Amino acid sequence: MMITPVHRFRDIERTPEYLQPEKCVPPPSLASPGTMWFIRDGCGIACAVVTWMLVFYADFVVLLVMLVPSRDYVYSVINGTLFNTLAFLALASHFRAMLTDPGAVPKGNATKEFIESLQLKPGQVVYKCPKCCSIKPDRAHHCSVCKRCIRKMDHHCPWVNNCVGENNQKYFVLFTMYIALISLHALIMVGFHFLYCFEEDWTKCSSFSPPTTVILLILLCFEALLFLIFTSVMFGTQVHSICTDETGIEQLKKEERRWAKKTKWMNMKAVFGHPFSIAWLSPFATPDQGKADPYQYVV
Protein backbone atom coordinates (compact mmCIF):
# COMPACT_ATOMS: atom_id res chain seq x y z
CA MET A 1 0.00 0.00 0.00
CA MET A 2 1.27 3.46 -0.86
CA ILE A 3 2.26 5.49 2.20
CA THR A 4 0.78 8.96 1.94
CA PRO A 5 2.17 12.04 3.76
CA VAL A 6 -0.69 11.67 6.25
CA HIS A 7 0.36 8.11 7.04
CA ARG A 8 3.99 9.18 7.45
CA PHE A 9 2.92 11.92 9.87
CA ARG A 10 0.88 9.39 11.83
CA ASP A 11 3.90 7.06 11.97
CA ILE A 12 5.97 9.88 13.45
CA GLU A 13 3.25 10.58 15.99
CA ARG A 14 3.15 6.93 16.99
CA THR A 15 6.89 6.73 17.64
CA PRO A 16 7.39 6.66 21.44
CA GLU A 17 10.69 8.56 21.22
CA TYR A 18 8.84 11.44 19.54
CA LEU A 19 6.89 12.18 22.72
CA GLN A 20 9.88 13.63 24.60
CA PRO A 21 7.85 14.19 27.81
CA GLU A 22 10.81 15.80 29.55
CA LYS A 23 10.39 18.81 27.23
CA CYS A 24 6.78 19.40 28.19
CA VAL A 25 5.96 21.57 31.17
CA PRO A 26 2.30 22.34 31.95
CA PRO A 27 1.62 26.04 31.30
CA PRO A 28 0.66 28.21 34.27
CA SER A 29 -3.08 28.40 34.90
CA LEU A 30 -4.12 31.93 34.02
CA ALA A 31 -7.86 31.40 34.39
CA SER A 32 -10.20 29.62 36.73
CA PRO A 33 -11.89 26.38 35.59
CA GLY A 34 -15.23 28.17 35.28
CA THR A 35 -13.95 30.83 32.89
CA MET A 36 -16.11 31.30 29.81
CA TRP A 37 -14.69 29.87 26.58
CA PHE A 38 -13.94 32.62 24.07
CA ILE A 39 -11.43 32.75 21.21
CA ARG A 40 -9.60 36.08 20.91
CA ASP A 41 -9.25 36.07 17.14
CA GLY A 42 -9.75 39.41 15.36
CA CYS A 43 -11.11 37.89 12.15
CA GLY A 44 -13.49 35.58 14.02
CA ILE A 45 -14.78 38.35 16.27
CA ALA A 46 -15.40 40.58 13.22
CA CYS A 47 -17.26 37.76 11.42
CA ALA A 48 -19.38 37.06 14.51
CA VAL A 49 -20.31 40.75 14.84
CA VAL A 50 -21.17 40.93 11.12
CA THR A 51 -23.39 37.85 11.52
CA TRP A 52 -25.45 39.53 14.26
CA MET A 53 -25.61 42.80 12.29
CA LEU A 54 -26.94 41.00 9.20
CA VAL A 55 -29.66 39.32 11.27
CA PHE A 56 -30.62 42.66 12.82
CA TYR A 57 -30.71 44.27 9.36
CA ALA A 58 -33.01 41.54 8.08
CA ASP A 59 -35.26 42.00 11.10
CA PHE A 60 -35.32 45.77 10.52
CA VAL A 61 -36.41 45.41 6.89
CA VAL A 62 -38.95 42.68 7.63
CA LEU A 63 -40.61 44.65 10.42
CA LEU A 64 -40.39 48.31 9.40
CA VAL A 65 -40.44 48.00 5.61
CA MET A 66 -42.81 45.08 5.02
CA LEU A 67 -44.93 44.15 8.05
CA VAL A 68 -45.67 47.37 9.97
CA PRO A 69 -47.04 49.27 6.92
CA SER A 70 -49.18 46.27 5.91
CA ARG A 71 -52.94 46.63 6.26
CA ASP A 72 -53.34 42.93 6.96
CA TYR A 73 -52.71 42.79 10.71
CA VAL A 74 -53.10 39.00 10.95
CA TYR A 75 -50.48 38.54 8.21
CA SER A 76 -48.14 40.96 9.98
CA VAL A 77 -48.53 39.41 13.43
CA ILE A 78 -48.10 35.81 12.23
CA ASN A 79 -45.08 36.50 10.03
CA GLY A 80 -43.51 38.90 12.50
CA THR A 81 -43.79 36.39 15.33
CA LEU A 82 -42.48 33.54 13.21
CA PHE A 83 -39.54 35.49 11.80
CA ASN A 84 -38.45 36.90 15.15
CA THR A 85 -38.75 33.52 16.86
CA LEU A 86 -36.52 31.91 14.24
CA ALA A 87 -34.09 34.84 14.38
CA PHE A 88 -33.89 34.57 18.18
CA LEU A 89 -33.20 30.83 17.98
CA ALA A 90 -30.54 31.44 15.31
CA LEU A 91 -28.72 34.02 17.44
CA ALA A 92 -29.04 31.87 20.57
CA SER A 93 -27.55 28.92 18.67
CA HIS A 94 -24.74 31.16 17.40
CA PHE A 95 -24.09 32.36 20.95
CA ARG A 96 -23.88 28.80 22.31
CA ALA A 97 -21.69 27.61 19.42
CA MET A 98 -19.30 30.53 19.97
CA LEU A 99 -19.01 30.33 23.77
CA THR A 100 -19.06 26.55 24.28
CA ASP A 101 -15.78 24.68 24.71
CA PRO A 102 -15.76 22.53 21.54
CA GLY A 103 -13.83 19.75 23.28
CA ALA A 104 -10.37 21.15 23.99
CA VAL A 105 -7.72 18.74 25.22
CA PRO A 106 -5.84 19.95 28.33
CA LYS A 107 -2.80 21.92 27.21
CA GLY A 108 0.71 20.83 28.19
CA ASN A 109 -0.26 17.48 29.68
CA ALA A 110 2.40 15.49 27.79
CA THR A 111 4.55 15.23 30.93
CA LYS A 112 6.36 12.18 32.17
CA GLU A 113 4.10 11.99 35.22
CA PHE A 114 0.90 12.15 33.16
CA ILE A 115 2.10 9.51 30.69
CA GLU A 116 2.97 7.20 33.59
CA SER A 117 -0.49 7.80 35.09
CA LEU A 118 -2.10 6.43 31.91
CA GLN A 119 -0.68 2.99 32.78
CA LEU A 120 -0.10 2.09 29.15
CA LYS A 121 0.21 -1.57 28.26
CA PRO A 122 3.40 -2.91 26.60
CA GLY A 123 3.41 -1.90 22.94
CA GLN A 124 0.64 0.62 23.40
CA VAL A 125 1.45 4.07 22.05
CA VAL A 126 -0.23 7.46 22.24
CA TYR A 127 -0.46 10.63 20.16
CA LYS A 128 1.35 13.78 21.15
CA CYS A 129 0.79 17.21 19.66
CA PRO A 130 4.11 19.06 19.36
CA LYS A 131 2.32 22.41 19.02
CA CYS A 132 0.39 22.49 22.29
CA CYS A 133 2.45 19.77 24.00
CA SER A 134 -0.56 17.64 24.86
CA ILE A 135 -1.32 13.94 24.80
CA LYS A 136 -4.44 13.83 22.71
CA PRO A 137 -7.21 11.26 22.33
CA ASP A 138 -7.89 9.49 19.08
CA ARG A 139 -9.74 11.65 16.50
CA ALA A 140 -8.46 14.89 18.07
CA HIS A 141 -6.82 17.50 15.83
CA HIS A 142 -4.89 20.69 16.50
CA CYS A 143 -6.48 24.03 15.57
CA SER A 144 -3.99 26.75 14.73
CA VAL A 145 -6.55 29.48 15.56
CA CYS A 146 -7.73 28.12 18.91
CA LYS A 147 -4.16 26.93 19.61
CA ARG A 148 -5.56 23.76 21.16
CA CYS A 149 -6.24 20.16 20.18
CA ILE A 150 -9.99 19.66 19.75
CA ARG A 151 -11.79 16.33 20.16
CA LYS A 152 -13.66 15.29 17.00
CA MET A 153 -12.80 18.63 15.38
CA ASP A 154 -14.83 19.13 12.20
CA HIS A 155 -13.46 22.55 11.20
CA HIS A 156 -12.80 26.03 12.53
CA CYS A 157 -15.62 28.39 11.56
CA PRO A 158 -14.84 32.13 11.65
CA TRP A 159 -18.58 32.95 11.55
CA VAL A 160 -18.97 31.51 15.06
CA ASN A 161 -15.38 32.39 16.07
CA ASN A 162 -14.81 28.86 17.30
CA CYS A 163 -14.03 25.32 16.30
CA VAL A 164 -16.89 22.95 15.60
CA GLY A 165 -16.14 19.92 17.71
CA GLU A 166 -17.53 17.26 20.01
CA ASN A 167 -19.24 19.60 22.48
CA ASN A 168 -20.76 22.33 20.26
CA GLN A 169 -21.62 20.64 16.97
CA LYS A 170 -25.31 20.57 17.92
CA TYR A 171 -25.40 24.36 18.31
CA PHE A 172 -23.60 24.91 15.00
CA VAL A 173 -26.06 22.65 13.18
CA LEU A 174 -29.00 24.51 14.74
CA PHE A 175 -27.41 27.84 13.80
CA THR A 176 -27.15 26.86 10.12
CA MET A 177 -30.69 25.45 10.13
CA TYR A 178 -32.33 28.53 11.67
CA ILE A 179 -30.38 30.94 9.45
CA ALA A 180 -31.50 28.95 6.40
CA LEU A 181 -35.12 29.07 7.61
CA ILE A 182 -35.19 32.83 8.25
CA SER A 183 -33.46 33.40 4.89
CA LEU A 184 -36.14 31.38 3.11
CA HIS A 185 -38.89 33.14 5.07
CA ALA A 186 -37.43 36.57 4.21
CA LEU A 187 -37.22 35.68 0.49
CA ILE A 188 -40.87 34.60 0.43
CA MET A 189 -41.99 37.79 2.20
CA VAL A 190 -39.91 39.97 -0.16
CA GLY A 191 -41.56 38.31 -3.14
CA PHE A 192 -45.07 38.90 -1.76
CA HIS A 193 -44.21 42.49 -0.84
CA PHE A 194 -42.95 43.30 -4.32
CA LEU A 195 -46.19 41.95 -5.78
CA TYR A 196 -48.19 43.99 -3.27
CA CYS A 197 -46.27 47.17 -4.11
CA PHE A 198 -46.70 46.67 -7.85
CA GLU A 199 -50.46 46.28 -7.41
CA GLU A 200 -50.80 49.16 -4.96
CA ASP A 201 -49.33 52.63 -4.80
CA TRP A 202 -45.63 52.41 -3.84
CA THR A 203 -46.09 55.31 -1.43
CA LYS A 204 -48.62 53.23 0.55
CA CYS A 205 -46.76 49.92 0.76
CA SER A 206 -43.88 51.22 2.85
CA SER A 207 -43.04 53.92 5.38
CA PHE A 208 -39.98 54.81 3.30
CA SER A 209 -39.74 56.44 -0.12
CA PRO A 210 -40.08 54.11 -3.14
CA PRO A 211 -36.35 54.26 -4.08
CA THR A 212 -35.30 53.54 -0.49
CA THR A 213 -37.83 50.73 -0.22
CA VAL A 214 -36.55 49.08 -3.41
CA ILE A 215 -32.91 49.33 -2.30
CA LEU A 216 -33.65 47.87 1.14
CA LEU A 217 -35.65 44.99 -0.33
CA ILE A 218 -33.02 44.19 -2.97
CA LEU A 219 -30.27 44.14 -0.34
CA LEU A 220 -32.36 41.87 1.87
CA CYS A 221 -33.13 39.61 -1.08
CA PHE A 222 -29.43 39.33 -1.97
CA GLU A 223 -28.46 38.65 1.67
CA ALA A 224 -31.21 36.06 2.17
CA LEU A 225 -30.41 34.22 -1.08
CA LEU A 226 -26.68 34.14 -0.35
CA PHE A 227 -27.08 32.83 3.19
CA LEU A 228 -29.85 30.41 2.25
CA ILE A 229 -27.49 28.68 -0.18
CA PHE A 230 -24.48 28.82 2.15
CA THR A 231 -26.19 27.62 5.32
CA SER A 232 -28.26 24.97 3.53
CA VAL A 233 -25.07 23.45 2.13
CA MET A 234 -23.40 23.65 5.55
CA PHE A 235 -26.44 22.11 7.26
CA GLY A 236 -26.53 19.22 4.78
CA THR A 237 -22.78 18.69 5.11
CA GLN A 238 -22.98 18.63 8.90
CA VAL A 239 -25.91 16.19 8.99
CA HIS A 240 -24.09 13.89 6.55
CA SER A 241 -20.94 14.13 8.68
CA ILE A 242 -22.91 13.22 11.81
CA CYS A 243 -24.71 10.30 10.17
CA THR A 244 -21.46 8.83 8.83
CA ASP A 245 -19.60 9.62 12.07
CA GLU A 246 -16.75 11.16 10.11
CA THR A 247 -15.61 14.74 10.66
CA GLY A 248 -14.75 17.18 7.90
CA ILE A 249 -11.03 16.88 8.63
CA GLU A 250 -11.19 13.09 8.59
CA GLN A 251 -12.96 13.19 5.23
CA LEU A 252 -10.45 15.69 3.85
CA LYS A 253 -7.42 13.71 5.01
CA LYS A 254 -9.10 10.39 4.13
CA GLU A 255 -8.05 9.01 7.49
CA GLU A 256 -8.48 5.32 8.12
CA ARG A 257 -11.43 4.54 10.37
CA ARG A 258 -10.12 3.32 13.73
CA TRP A 259 -13.34 3.62 15.70
CA ALA A 260 -16.42 1.42 15.95
CA LYS A 261 -19.08 1.94 13.31
CA LYS A 262 -22.53 2.86 14.65
CA THR A 263 -25.95 3.37 13.11
CA LYS A 264 -27.04 6.78 11.84
CA TRP A 265 -29.61 7.05 14.64
CA MET A 266 -26.96 6.38 17.29
CA ASN A 267 -24.69 9.00 15.73
CA MET A 268 -27.50 11.58 15.75
CA LYS A 269 -28.27 10.84 19.41
CA ALA A 270 -24.58 11.21 20.26
CA VAL A 271 -24.67 14.83 19.02
CA PHE A 272 -28.20 15.98 19.88
CA GLY A 273 -28.85 13.87 22.97
CA HIS A 274 -31.35 11.11 23.63
CA PRO A 275 -34.14 10.28 23.47
CA PHE A 276 -35.56 12.30 20.57
CA SER A 277 -37.53 15.30 21.80
CA ILE A 278 -38.16 18.99 21.17
CA ALA A 279 -34.88 19.57 23.03
CA TRP A 280 -33.08 18.57 19.81
CA LEU A 281 -34.25 21.88 18.30
CA SER A 282 -33.45 23.99 21.37
CA PRO A 283 -30.10 25.79 21.68
CA PHE A 284 -30.72 26.00 25.44
CA ALA A 285 -30.85 22.24 26.02
CA THR A 286 -27.42 20.75 26.64
CA PRO A 287 -27.42 17.23 25.21
CA ASP A 288 -26.60 14.32 27.50
CA GLN A 289 -24.28 12.82 24.96
CA GLY A 290 -22.80 10.08 27.07
CA LYS A 291 -19.31 10.83 25.75
CA ALA A 292 -16.48 8.42 26.18
CA ASP A 293 -13.66 9.19 28.57
CA PRO A 294 -11.72 12.04 26.89
CA TYR A 295 -8.48 10.46 28.13
CA GLN A 296 -8.84 7.25 26.16
CA TYR A 297 -5.54 7.40 24.23
CA VAL A 298 -5.86 3.91 22.80
CA VAL A 299 -4.23 3.30 19.42
Q: Is 157 part of the annotated catalytic residue set?
A: yes
Asked if residue 111 belongs to a domain, the reply is no
Structural domain including 219 reads 42-103+157-281
Tell me the whole-structure pTM to 2 decimals. 0.85
CB 110 within 8 Å of CB 134: yes
**CA separation for the pair 224, 227 (Å, rounded):** 5
The three-class DSSP label of residue 155 is strand
- For residue range 220-242, list pLDDT tens digits in order: 999 999 999 999 999 999 999 99
Asked if residue 228 belongs to a domain, the reply is yes
- For residue range 120-159, list pLDDT tens digits in order: 777 777 778 888 888 888 889 999 999 999 999 999 999 9
Asked if residue 136 belongs to a domain, the reply is no
The three-class DSSP label of residue 28 is coil
Asked if residue 3 belongs to a domain, the reply is no
Catalytic annotation, pick one of 132, 157, 197, 205 = 157
Strand ranges inside 11-167, DSSP E: 127-129, 134-136, 140-143, 148-151, 155-157, 162-164
Asked if residue 33 belongs to a domain, the reply is no
CB 130 within 8 Å of CB 238: no
Residue 246: what residue type? Answer: E
pLDDT value for 16: 41
Asked if residue 250 belongs to a domain, the reply is yes
Asked if residue 287 belongs to a domain, the reply is no
* pLDDT < 50 positions in the chain: 1-18, 28-32, 290-295, 297-299
pLDDT value for 23: 56
**Rg of the chain (C-alpha set):** 24
pLDDT value for 296: 52
- By C-alpha distance, which of 107, 134, 168, 174 is closest to 21? 134
Cis peptide, bond prior to residue 211, ω within 30 of zero:
no
Asked if residue 239 belongs to a domain, the reply is yes
What is the total count of domains within the chain? Answer: 1
